[in-house]
Each structure stands twice: as structure tokens, then as C-alpha cells.
Chains A and B, each alone.
Chain A
Amino acid sequence: MSKLKRAASAALATCLVLLAGCSGAGSGAISTPSLAGTSAVPSGSGDATPAATDLSSYKYSKTGSVVEVTFWTAAVEEINQQLVDKFNETTGKDQNIHVTAQYQGDYWEMQQKINAASIAGTLPNAFIDEVSMTRGFADDDVILNLEPYMQANSFDNSAFQIGDLGNLYMGEDMYAFPHMRSVPVMYVNKTLAKSVGLSEAGPATFDELTTYLQACYDKTGQPPMYLFNYDFWVMEALLHSYSNTNILSDDEKSCNINSEGGVKLVTYLKGLVDKGLVKVLPITDMNAFYATIANPSTALWLTSIGGYKAFAPMASQYGIDLGVSMIPEGENGTRGVPVGGSNTYLANAGTDQQKAAAFIFMTWLSDTEQAAFASSQTGYLPTKLASLETSVMKETLAQFPGFQVAFDELQYCKMRPTTGSYHEVEDLMCEKINSILLDNLDIKSSLDTLAKDVNAILNR
């Protein structure tokens, strides 16, 4: 027996040592990365903008040898690869820069891999990731302040006009370029609306939304709207619009989901669910949500404009004329939509020449023509309004007029949270709010518990 105890103790100790070792490494991943190429960071990089005399190291100078740039991509792989190929054939060829694109999974897998790579010293030179990750990367010195590079290259960033630009900045300094951006919109089944005698533009306010859904339900006997809470981004838009509430406090240390506005919204949604006007789908069932687009009894969908080019022809196959409208406005005309999508980041890795070359690639990628190409191919918004004047975008707008709604909606855009732990917060919120809507939990006390759990993550 004593032998067994000794064995168990030894095993437990081994386990604890292993776990401690792992968690130690993990925490180091976030707070104190040992970066490859740190010594090669140009003087003055980081928080402070360098003096004008130091700027030469931030400017790319072409030499006889080709500078290799590694570019990690996440999502819309084929289009990113096409853009990289085009760069290599044009500007890259002229400037002796060769970019290699390497796919690294979705946005959240990319975040993990970037953190791992920063510790291991294998960061790429540039990468794409979700807009809300800027602060986390900047705090960990994983990405570089772009100000000195912009100064050295006389780069004018005023052309970026994709609504709120907050997710590009840390304080006054720019740390990211926008890549593919999107906003949540309301898709409308115009065919059903017409048959019910409703506005084909959809409901303009939340009061109208209730009567609109009720009228459709009375006609079809089926739920006229589905909520896809995995896309928490939509909930952020509803919070802004219905309750004039931000999901997190300004300092991102606490969440407002249990505030008066949060409770009001969830109560409103629960009312719609209880009346059979909204059906809540399991949080991971993306395909079930997309399937509702071919369902003639579905009246409204709240999701990204990024899916418009795929949704419209799909709906059309089933005789549904798909329209696009803005997210309804709340009392007193409140409306707000988070601007999501991806940024490109300049990684704190490699030689000065590689960093400067990666910046050249980033500027090319964000340029009017490339932004227009990416937008026309995917459905994401171009990151410069100048792109709207290109022929490719004019053709796209003529073919898919709903895009104009997304551009118009940009006037109501809001910045997404920037804290590095936000993805974990989103997952938790999705799960718990779905439980409230499906399991008849007490709304206020459940949201209080949720807020407590979220605050613990935010202040970890």
C-alpha cells in the first residue's frame, strides 16, 4: 500500500512538473517572447517614432540579390495566393522581392501559431489575422509600429476609408493595414416580402422587425429568421443598434453584457424566440445556417456582407430574390455595426531589409487595384474608397447592388474590441447566450454570471 502511495506521489509530482513546465512556457509565450531577429530591429522601432535621421533603415533599397519575404495567410487562401503571385510577377520582380505565402489555418489558429513562432523565433515577415488581435500582438512586440516605415516611404494612409480605423492603431501609431473588411448586414427575402405585402427593403427599426417577422410567420407557419450566434459579431451589431451598448468597457477590463442594454437585447431576442419568430441554431452549425438561405420561408438573415456573392446566386436557384439592407436601427435612431475582417501585420522578425521589403509588399497589397480585386473576388469590402472607382468594382456593384448598402452602413461603424483574449470571450458569450435563448434560463442572473466569467478572462 505504501509502495502504491509512493508511486502515486511520484507520478503526481511528475505530472505537476510537466504541467508547470508547459504552463510556464505558455505564459512566456504571451508576455515575454524571445524574438528571432530582435537584434536586427531597426533602432527606434517599437512604441516611439524615430527621429527623421534614422529613417533610412526603414526604407527598402533594391540590391542585386532577391529579398525573400515570408507571408503567413489565414482564410480566403486562393485569393491571397493569387495576389502574392501577382506581386511576384510585377512589383516584386522590379524590386527584387520574392514573397512566399504560407497558409496557417483560420484566424484563431493563426493567432496561436504566431504566439508560438514568436517564442521559437520563426515568425514570418508579414501575416494576416483578424482585426481584433492588434493590441495583443503589439503588447507582445510581435508586430512593428508602421509609423517609421510610412514616414520613410512617404506613405499616405489617409486613403484607408473603411469606417472606424481603431483596430489599426495603438494609441496614435498605426500597427496594421486593413486587408479584407466586412460589416454585418441584413439580407432580405424580397420574394417572400412581396408575397406577404411587406417592404422589400426589410424592417428599418426593431419595432418593425417584430411585426415583419410576425407577418411572415403568419403566412408560412415557419420561423422567418435564424440566429447564428457563433458569429458573435452580429450580436455586437445588435447591442450597438438595439441598446446603444458596447460589448466591452472602453478600457476592455469589463464586459457590458449584463448592463441594462445587454439584458434589454437578450430579453427582446428571447421574446422573438418564444413566439417562434426566431430559431436559434447550434453555435457550430454553420451549414444549417447557410441552408436557410435556400429556404423560401426564411425572411431575414443577419450576417456578413462577405457572403453576399455566394448567397445571392444560391438563393436565386430557389426563386428567392435576395436583397441587402442595413441592420435595423434602435430607439432614437441608434445604429452601430462592428467592422470586421482581417489586417495585415508587419512582424518583428528578419533583417532590416526583409522588414522594409515586407512593408513594400503590404503597401502594394493594400493598394487601390489589389483591394478592388480582393473585394470583387470575395465579397469583402475594399479597404480604400478609391477602389470603388475602378472598373472591376463598378462591374461588381452593378451585378451585386447590395454591396452599396454595406458601404453606406460604414457611416455607423464601430471598432471591435482589441484585447488579445477576445476570441475566448466570444466563444464563452456565444455558448452562454445560446443557452439562455434555448434553455429558458433566468436572463439577468445568467448574464451576471456570464459577465463575471468574462471579466475574469479580461483581467487574467
Chain B
Amino acid sequence: MKILGKSASILGKILISALLILIFVVPFYWMILTAVKTLGEVVQFPPKFWTDAIQWHNFKDAFDAIDFLHYTKNSLVITAGTLLGQALFILPASYAFARYDFKGKKLLFSIVLLTMMIPGQLIFLPVFVMYVKLGLLNSYISLIIPFAANGLAIFMLRQTFMQVPDSILEAARLDNAGEFKIIYSIMLPMAVPTISTLALFTFITSWNSYFFPLAWTTTDAVRTLPVGIQQLQSSLGLNPQVVMAGVVLMVVPILVIFVIARKQIIKAFTYMGIK
């Protein structure tokens, strides 16, 4: 009886796992399938879950219709710049909020949290005007600065830093370790899972960013890949298979990063869950 119950439990787990895999994998499969179909197959009713002949030229068509390399370069620069900016601003800010007591700390932290509640669309206009006045329109910096600090990231990293026992820091200070040394040698290694997760979130958000790279630019000079993909749709009209091929090309870097960082991400969530 016990063996039967155990088998049912294992079968249940397998079925649930299979269902979850389906939920997550099917959208990706559909995206890739659409990217290699003909237009006729894309709009065919009832829809087909395979293709008779893979249309590799959809990728070439997407590549040729817009300046793919230019937009990719811009996305890379802006994403890397944002990640660098966050490393410069978020790490010290989180450390200060977690480990120091200073006047106005609660107020400042409240303001940090409040930034999460202001929709970006609300500030796009005044920021646009400010950029024009500062001569920053159509520059990389205009698309990096507003995202170089992030309320959610400061909050999450602060929580992680707060979990480091005081005794470890005191021991480090007794060994004459400075604050920079403490952050670099103690805090950062202990926060790697959280930092990896935040970096991935930032990467995805920045890489997929459409609204601000369009709203805060007037030329294609620094526009990102999602804006290029939208332009693809506007240029080609009813060609969802080519647009989807562009989307597949856009998603590849995110998948690669995710595969590389997946262990750290799982660890981050597990770590936070245990605490």
C-alpha cells in the first residue's frame, strides 16, 4: 500500500512537472515555430504545431529590413551601461542602508521605496524636456542614467546585506579591514546569488526596453533593438513571421545569460526562502 502511495506521489510530481514545463516551453516553441513558418502557415486555421519547411530566410529578411547590428550595438551599450551604473550606485547605497545608522536614514529609504511607485510614463515628459535643455537628447547617457539606480534593487540587496552576521563584520574590522575591503571581500561574495538575480532582471528590463528608448530619442542614433523590431512591423506590414524572427534574435542573448546564471538565480531564491 505504501509503495502504491509512493508511486502515485512520484507520478503526480512528474505530471505537475510536465505541465509546468509545457506552460513555460510552449510559448517559446510557438515563438520559434512562427519565426520559421510561411505567412500562410502563420495565419492558417486551425493552427499547425509544426512546419512543412523551415523558412530560414525569415531571419535574413528581418536582418535586412532594419539595421540589426546598429540596434543590437545600442542595446548592448545601454544594457552594459545600466549594469555598470547600478553596480556603482546600488551596492554602496544598499550597504549604507543595511549597515549604517545615520540621520534621515528612514526618510531616505522611504524615498527610495517611493520611486518604485511612480510610473515611468508620468515622468517621461519632464525628463525629455530636461534632456533637451542639457543637450542629452539622442545620447546613450540619457537612456542609462535614469535606470542606474533602482529602488527594488536597493531594497533587495539591503535585505541581503542585513542578513550578514555583525560578528563577521566586527572580526573584519578588528583585522583592520576598511569599508571598501569589507564590501568587496565579505559582502559581495555573500550576496552573489542576489546580485546575479538583480543583474539578470536589469539585463532583461534594459534589453527589452521599448518605451523610453523611443520616447527619449528623436533619431535612430541610440535606439534599442525593441524599437527596431517595432519598426520592422511598421515597415513590413502584415509579416508576423519576419517580426517573430526578429524577436527570436532579440531573445537569444537573454536565454544565453539565463542559462549561464541559472544556478545563481535558483540559489538566490532558495537562500531568500530559507531566511
Interface positions of A (Cβ within 8 A of B): 3-4, 6-8, 10-11, 14-15, 18-19, 21-23, 25-26, 29, 72, 74-78, 102-106, 109, 112-113, 115-117, 119-122, 124, 287, 290-297, 307, 310-311, 314, 317-318, 378
Contacts and interface: CB of A to CB of B under 8 A. Distances in A.
Given A3-B106, A8-B110, A112-B124, 18 more contacts: A4-B106, A10-B110, A11-B111, A14-B111, A14-B114, A22-B123, A22-B125, A22-B126, A26-B125, A78-B235, A103-B220, A117-B218, A119-B129, A120-B129, A292-B45, A294-B40, A294-B44, A295-B45
Contacts of B234: 74-78, 103, 106
Contact of B114 (A15, A115, A121, A124): A15
Interface in B194-247: 214-215, 218-220, 230-231, 234-238, 240
Contacts of A19: 118, 122
Interface of B is mostly: helix
Contact of B43 (A11, A14, A112, A294): A294
Interface of B: 39-40, 42-45, 47, 65, 106-107, 110-111, 114, 117-118, 122-126, 128-129, 131-133, 137, 214-215, 218-220, 230-231, 234-238, 240
A228 to B, nearest CB: 14
B44 A25 contact: no
Contact of B238 (A10, A23, A115, A310): A310
Contact of A119 (B43, B65, B123, B125): B125
12 contacts: A7-B110, A15-B114, A15-B117, A22-B123, A25-B125, A77-B231, A109-B215, A117-B218, A287-B42, A291-B45, A295-B45, A317-B40
Most-contacted residue by chain A among B43, B107, B117, B122 (CB, 10 A): B43
A294 B230 contact: no
B137 A122 contact: yes
A121 B131 CA distance: 11
Nearest to B122: A22
A297 B46 CA distance: 11
A307 B126 contact: no
Contacts of B230: 105
A314 B40 contact: yes
A307 B218 CA distance: 29
Nearest to B240: A287
A132 B115 CA distance: 36
A155 B88 CA distance: 60
Contacts of A310: 237-238
A34 B133 CA distance: 13
A322 to B, nearest CB: 13
B114 A11 contact: yes
B220 A102 contact: yes
Contact of A314 (B43, B122, B126, B218): B43
A105 B231 CA distance: 7
A83 to B, nearest CB: 13
Contacts of A8: 110
A378 B237 contact: yes
Nearest to B105: A7
B63 to A, nearest CB: 15
A21 B45 contact: no
Contact of A76 (B40, B111, B118, B237): B237
Contacts of A4: 106
Contacts of A10: 107, 110
Nearest to B39: A314
B44 A120 contact: no
Contacts of A78: 65, 234-236
Contacts of B125: 22, 25-26, 29, 115-116, 119
A290 B231 CA distance: 19
Give 5 closest A-B pairs by Cβ, nearest first. A295-B45, A11-B110, A120-B132, A310-B238, A78-B235
Contact of A318 (B40, B110, B128, B215): B40
A103 B218 CA distance: 8
A29 B117 CA distance: 23
Nearest to B38: A317
Given A11-B110, A15-B114, A102-B218, A121 B132 contact: yes
Contacts of A104: 214, 218
A147 to B, nearest CB: 29
